[in-house]
Structure 1
Amino acid sequence: MFIRTERLFLRPAWEEDAPALTRAIAHESVAHMLARVSWPYEEEDALAWIGAPRDPSLPSLLITIPDDGGTIIGGCGLHAADSDGPAEVGYWITPAAQGQGYAREALSGLLAIARMAGHRTLRGRHMVDNPGSGRVLTAVGFRPTGGTGSLPSLARAAAISTLEYEADLAGGEPAQVPPTAWVTPDAYIASINAAA
């Protein structure tokens, strides 16, 4: 799946993305806020993630800036919950691109994809020491459930306490979702070449 938001392009990862993906995610501050990312993070880890089998209803996408030659600035996706229940969202932004609203914009685009894939409800969680992630979730329409839990963090080699959120996608698009447009791979490549 490919989707264009106002400033971003969300797309699948390809094997040739491994070096740039590694540079974007291989920051201790990023790895420590994610459950499934090891630290240190190496190019072999990126290749393993890129090559992992995917359920089409649970896309994992790179967040890129097409006007900057397709620079990878993060990732977002859906994954199966660790228990019965709705799919969960996940996302990250490389440190140099944080604080510019990219996570919120990418997550809004991901919600549009999730809705088109037939998801009616999504779950979100963040580690208690990452309150900024909670602000991103609420900005795109997630509501705190009051639930808590924990996530095993590979990077920290420990279980970290989490706060839980939920979004209802069945009631129509949240007001925060910006206009999006589906983009073909050829159109994406043309936009990258035009920016170069």
Structure 2
Amino acid sequence: MCVIDRGPTIQTRRLTLRTPMIDDASRIAALCGDYAIAKMTTRMPWPYSQSDADGFVARCQAQDRSRDATFAIELEGEGVVGVLGFFTPSVGHLEVGYWIGRPYWGQGLATEAANGALDWARNDWRKKLVVAGHFADNPASGQVLIKTGFLYTGVIERKPSAARGEAVPTRMMVWLA
């Protein structure tokens, strides 16, 4: 019998952050079917299929949680509304990325999820430094990061966007515990 490590769970005022489960894949596929979501991420392909969501969930469940942690963002009464993940690149520091489905934009959910996840990273995971970047044409993501304590480094990197099929100017930021 295979036992799935459910990983940590984070509670905020309105949200539960937890490991994505296979039952979440159809909801993730539906929300990520919106090009406005995919084009603002580095790794999300476009178009985004059910198969992409199934593979994503499987990778999340197999993560080495000492290095990486991905959370489904669940809004009470709505189900999964987005994803937030910490990942360790081959070179550099721990990074965080996130997306919220378009029907849930403008409600402060990304900020609430990021604050909860960063508190967990500092207090439970014992992380002291996290980096993030937002595409230059996505200032709303920059505002989320500022509200959660990230500071601009002054560095602009060109990061790939799988959905756009090209590298995009990315404003880099840092958070210190």
- TM-based fold match above 0.5: yes
Task: Describe the shift of the 1:110–1:123 C-alpha distance in structure 2 as closer, same or farther (beyond 3 A).
Answer: same
1:92 to 90, 99, 118: 99
1:38 to 41, 45, 54: 45
**Contact in 2 for aligned 1:121/1:166 (Cα 8 Å):** yes
Per-residue CA distance 1:157-182 (angstroms, 9 max, x = gap): 0001100100001xxxxxxxxxxxxx
Task: Report the AA paired with residue 171 of structure 2.
Answer: L
**Contact in 2 for aligned 1:141/1:167 (Cα 8 Å):** yes
Per-residue CA distance 1:24-64 (angstroms, 9 max, x = gap): 22210000000000000001001101111312132101111
Deviation of 1:110 after TM superposition, in Å, equals 1.0
User: Which secondary structure does the structure 2 equivalent of 1:112 belong to?
Assistant: helix
Task: Report the AA paired with residue 23 of structure 2.
Answer: E
User: Which secondary structure does the structure 1 equivalent of 2:155 belong to?
Assistant: strand
TM-score, normalised with respect to structure 1: 0.82
Query: Root-mean-square deviation (CA), in Å?
Result: 1.0
TM-score, normalised with respect to structure 2: 0.91
**Contact in 2 for aligned 1:153/1:159 (Cα 8 Å):** yes
Task: Report the AA paired with residue 152 of structure 1.
Answer: P
- Mapped pair 1:126 → 2:134: yes
Task: Report the AA paired with residue 63 of structure 2.
Answer: R
Q: Which residue in 2 is equivalent to 1:107?
A: 114
Task: Report the AA paired with residue 113 of structure 2.
Answer: A
Per-residue CA distance 1:105-129 (angstroms, 9 max, x = gap): 0000110121121211000100010
- Mapped pair 1:64 → 2:74: yes
Task: Report the AA paired with residue 64 of structure 2.
Answer: D
* Distance in 1, Cα, partners of 2:121 & 2:31: 24
More displaced 10-residue stretch of structure 1: 11-20 or 31-40? 11-20
Q: What is the number of residues matched between the two proteins?
A: 166
Larger Rg: 1
Identity %: 34
Higher RCO (C-alpha under 8 Å, 6+ residues apart): 1
**Contact in 2 for aligned 1:24/1:72 (Cα 8 Å):** no
Task: Report the AA paired with residue 118 of structure 1.
Answer: R
Deviation of 1:82 after TM superposition, in Å, equals 4.9
Q: Which residue in 1 is equivalent to 2:57?
A: 50
* Distance in 2, Cα, partners of 1:156 & 1:24: 17
User: Which secondary structure does the structure 2 equivalent of 1:45 belong to?
Assistant: helix
* Distance in 1, Cα, partners of 2:139 & 2:18: 27
1:3 to 5, 10, 26: 10
